[in-house]
Amino acid sequence: MDLKEKLLSSFMAFEERVDVTTELHDLRTSALKNFEEKGFPTKKEEAWKYTSLNAILKNDFSIFPKKEHAIDIKDVKKYFINNIDTYKVIFIDGVFSTFLSSTTHDGLDVCLMSSALTKPKYKMVIDTYFNQIASKEESMTTLNTAFAFEGAYINVPKSTVVEKPIEIIYFSTGNEAALMVQPRNLVVVGENAHVQIVERHQSLNENPVLTNAVTEIFAQKRAIVDYYKIQNDVQTANLIDNTYIAQKQESRVSVHTFSFGGNITRNNLNFYHQGERIDSTLKGITILGDKQHVDHYTLVHHAQPNCESHQNYKCILNDQSTGVFNGKIFVEKEAQKTDAFQQNSNILLTDKATINAKPQLEIYADDVKCSHGCTIGQLDESAMFYMQQRGIPKKEAKALLMYAFTNEVTASVKIPDLKEKIAKIIATKLGVHMGFDL
């Protein structure tokens, strides 16, 4: 039985295990029907032209963990932002860990999606937001919707400034020979509220994992959301990360994606503008080696006037690694005075590394300022020579140039201790001590 057949045959058993309303059952059934018709995406689809899941799907994934597993804090402490206090929402093999989590906050509603989906007190919020902006057609998103049950639910009330970052971390223990997990996150940020969120998926051994995650983020008027994704997993981990963001008037949302590890990573990042004077920021750093593969697929849908979006993705590829950037800016006829910028810059360190870049503009308004650009090349030999002439060894000179290449993105990280952590990961990936305190 292949994975698709296993998922379809397990759906009824899954619903019997969870408490679902008639409305939720109908939504799940419709989503499963879409997945049944389309199946897993293939390279025949334009959006997946450069990313194949065939090798991953050969694994015999367990869909549900056989039992709950505990983790000792000392084994996972290095994955947290240790130098500052944070709220923590931690999951182990898809199951919430009360022991590792810390969510108490007056006025901040942080709970489990399983509670939000089943308890009457959350019904109004679920009816208003759940599955409202997530795609009803994209097969991996609808698969997640069909089996959506556990994940993080975060509701930041109006005019609330969350004083500490929120860490959402999904650990995979590897106690299953191969495991598929499908976390679902819902984040609602009220008017004039501000929150910082850090998300991470981390395997603790080399057993194969397939994570199919969906996150819906709603930023109300003048809300500020800073979202950071750290992707630095082991070589047998695979991640399909689908993020959908709806922004109301004068809201500001930034998403930084740091892709350093894993086998195959696919990031689907979609912004939808639902008001004027909105600001959207999409930035990313990808550093790969061996045969790693990362695919960034972005969309910013400008539907209202006087809005801005800024995309800046940097990629360094070594060995036989492969990168993909497919970024689209869509401007409706009504979205006059749009200011949209997109840049994708890539460095190939070997002849066998590959980048596939497809920046796109689709504009129907006539009073806009939109631009996109893509560069692909190698390190500047003249700069290397200049640094070596001044006593900097070749390895360190190479690392400094690559570090400077990424700095434009890391400089905009607003959590100092997270910025430091990212800088250390980058230095490690570049394989050199930078010669200064990170």
Over residues 302-333, the pLDDT tens digits come to 999 999 999 999 999 999 999 999 999 999 99
Q: What is the mean pLDDT of residues 241-267?
A: 97
Residue 436: pLDDT band with limits 50, 70, 90 = very low
Beta strand 224-231 with 209-219: parallel, antiparallel or unpaired? unpaired
Burial 15-28 (b: 16+ CB within 10 A, else e): beeeebeeebeebb
> Closest by alpha carbon to 102, among 80, 121, 120, 86?
86
Strands (E), 262-307: 264-273, 279-288, 293-302
Q: Are 202 and 79 in contact (CB under 8 A)?
A: yes
> Closest by alpha carbon to 144, among 34, 301, 18?
34
Residue 433: pLDDT band with limits 50, 70, 90 = low
Mean pLDDT computed over every residue of the chain? 92
Residue 31 or residue 73, greater confidence: 31
Q: Tell me which amino acid residue 328 is.
A: K
- Tokens matching residue 34: 């879409």
Q: Tell me which amino acid residue 372 is.
A: H
Q: Are 245 and 273 in contact (CB under 8 A)?
A: no
Q: Is the dihedral angle over the CA atoms 255, 260, 261, 267 positive or is it negative?
A: positive
Interatomic CA distance for residues 24 and 320, integer angstroms = 44
Residue 88: pLDDT band with limits 50, 70, 90 = very high
Interatomic CA distance for residues 336 and 340, integer angstroms = 11
* Percentage of the chain lying above the pLDDT 90 cut: 75
Interatomic CA distance for residues 240 and 294, integer angstroms = 10
- Tokens matching residue 347: 């460095």
Interatomic CA distance for residues 392 and 384, integer angstroms = 9
Residue 432: pLDDT band with limits 50, 70, 90 = low
Interatomic CA distance for residues 303 and 63, integer angstroms = 39
Close Cβ partners of 91 (under 8 Å, ≥ 6 residues apart):
97, 150, 151, 169, 170, 171, 183
Chain segment 148-207, per-residue pLDDT in tens: 999 999 999 999 999 899 999 999 998 889 999 999 999 999 999 999 999 999 999 999
* Percentage of the chain lying above the pLDDT 70 cut: 97
Instruction: Give the range with max mean pLDDT: 101-115, 137-151, 417-431.
Output: 137-151
> Closest by alpha carbon to 226, among 252, 244, 247, 249?
252
CA-CA distances (angstroms) from residue 106 to 155, 163, 217, 225?
A: 12, 11, 21, 19
Interatomic CA distance for residues 189 and 220, integer angstroms = 6
Above 80 in pLDDT, residue 68?
no
Helix (H) or strand (E) holding 419: helix 416-430
CA-CA distances (angstroms) from residue 266 to 83, 295, 303, 341, 375?
A: 30, 5, 26, 22, 21
The whole-number pLDDT of residue 437 equals 36
Interatomic CA distance for residues 146 and 11, integer angstroms = 8
Q: What is the mean pLDDT of residues 406-423?
A: 93
